[in-house]
A and B are shown apart, each in its own frame.
Chain A
Amino acid sequence: MLQVKEIDVYYGAIHALKKLSLEVEQGKIVTLIGANGAGKTTTLKTISGLLRPVSGTITYKGVDLTKVLPEKIVALGISQVPEGRRVFAPMTVMENLEMGAYLRKDKKEVQQDMELVFERFPRLKERRRQLAGTLSGGEQQMLAIGRALMARPELMLMDEPSMGLAPLLVREIFQIIKDINSRGTTILLVEQNAHMALSIAHKAYVVETGAIVLEGSPEQLMKSEEVKKAYLGG
Chain B
Amino acid sequence: MATGEALLQLPFTVNKGEVAIMLEFVQQLVNGLSLGAIYALIALGYTMVYGIIMLINFAHGDIMMVGAFVGFYSITLLGTNIVMAMIFAMIACAVLGVVIEKVAYRPLRGSTRIAALITAIGMSLFLEYMTIFLLGPQQKVFPHSAFPLKEYNAMGLLITNKDIFIIVSAVVLMIILQYIIKMTKTGKAMRAVSVDREAAVLMGISVDKTISITFAIGSALAAAAGVMVGVYYNTINPLMGIIPGLKAFVAAVLGGIGIVPGAMVGGFVMGILETFVSGYGSSLYRDAVAFGVLILILLIKPTGLFGKDTGEKV
As a 0/1 sequence over residues 170 to 204 of chain A, the CB contacts with chain B under 8 angstroms (1 = contact) are 00000000000000000000000000000000000
- Classify chain A: how many residues form its interface, as a range: 20 to 34
Q: Is B195 in contact with A79, judged by CB distance below 8 angstroms? A: no
Quick one: which of A48, A74, A90 contacts B195, CB cutoff 8 A?
A: A90
Partner-contacting stretch, out of A29-37, A92-100, A213-221? A92-100
Task: List chain B residues, Cβ under 8 A from A162.
Answer: none
Task: List chain A residues, Cβ under 8 A from B313.
Answer: 90
Q: Is A82 in contact with B188, judged by CB distance below 8 angstroms? A: no
Q: Is B205 in contact with A90, judged by CB distance below 8 angstroms? A: no
B24 at interface, CB cutoff 8 A: no
As a 0/1 sequence over residues 170 to 199 of chain B, the CB contacts with chain A under 8 angstroms (1 = contact) are 000000000000000100110110011011
Q: Is A79 in contact with B188, judged by CB distance below 8 angstroms? A: no
Q: Is B192 in contact with A48, judged by CB distance below 8 angstroms? A: no
As a 0/1 sequence over residues 255 to 270 of chain B, the CB contacts with chain A under 8 angstroms (1 = contact) are 0000000000000000
| B26 CB → nearest A CB, Å | 37
Quick one: which of A71, A80, A98 contacts B206, CB cutoff 8 A?
A: A71
CA distance A48 to B205 in the complex (A): 13
With contact pairs A98-B185, A133-B310 given, residues A82 and B192 touching in the complex (Cβ less than 8 Å):
no
B295 at interface, CB cutoff 8 A: no
B146 at interface, CB cutoff 8 A: no
B99 at interface, CB cutoff 8 A: no
SS class of chain B's interface: helix, strand, loop or mixed? Answer: helix
Q: Is B199 in contact with A86, judged by CB distance below 8 angstroms? A: yes
- Classify chain B: how many residues form its interface, as a range: 20 to 34
Quick one: which of B189, B195, B198 contacts A102, CB cutoff 8 A?
A: B189
With contact pairs A90-B310, A99-B189, A133-B310 given, residues A71 and B195 touching in the complex (Cβ less than 8 Å):
no
Which residue, of B195, B196, B311, has the highest number of chain A Cβ atoms within 10 A? B195
Quick one: which of B192, B198, B312 contacts A99, CB cutoff 8 A?
A: B192
A91 at interface, CB cutoff 8 A: yes
Quick one: which of A50, A89, A91 contacts B201, CB cutoff 8 A?
A: A50
CA distance A133 to B201 in the complex (A): 19
Q: Is B204 in contact with A89, judged by CB distance below 8 angstroms? A: no
Q: Is B206 in contact with A90, judged by CB distance below 8 angstroms? A: no
Q: Is A71 in contact with B205, judged by CB distance below 8 angstroms? A: yes
Quick one: which of B192, B201, B204, B311 contacts A88, CB cutoff 8 A?
A: B192
Which residue, of B191, B201, B203, has the highest number of chain A Cβ atoms within 10 A? B203
B200 at interface, CB cutoff 8 A: yes
Task: List chain A residues, Cβ under 8 A from B310.
Answer: 89-90, 133
| B311 CB → nearest A CB, Å | 7
B1 at interface, CB cutoff 8 A: no
CA distance A87 to B198 in the complex (A): 11
Q: Is A102 in contact with B196, judged by CB distance below 8 angstroms? A: no
With contact pairs A88-B192, A133-B310 given, residues A102 and B205 touching in the complex (Cβ less than 8 Å):
yes
List 13 A-B pairs, Cβ < 8 Å: A71-B207, A74-B203, A75-B204, A80-B202, A82-B198, A82-B199, A87-B199, A88-B192, A88-B199, A88-B200, A90-B191, A98-B185, A147-B203
Extra inter-chain contacts (18) besides given A86-B199, A103-B203, A133-B310, CB under 8 Å: A49-B201, A70-B201, A71-B204, A71-B206, A72-B204, A80-B202, A82-B199, A86-B202, A88-B192, A90-B195, A90-B310, A90-B311, A90-B313, A91-B191, A98-B185, A99-B205, A102-B203, A147-B203
Q: Please report A residues at the B interface, Cβ cutoff 8 Å.
A: 48-50, 69-72, 74-75, 79-80, 82, 86-91, 95, 98-100, 102-103, 133, 147, 151
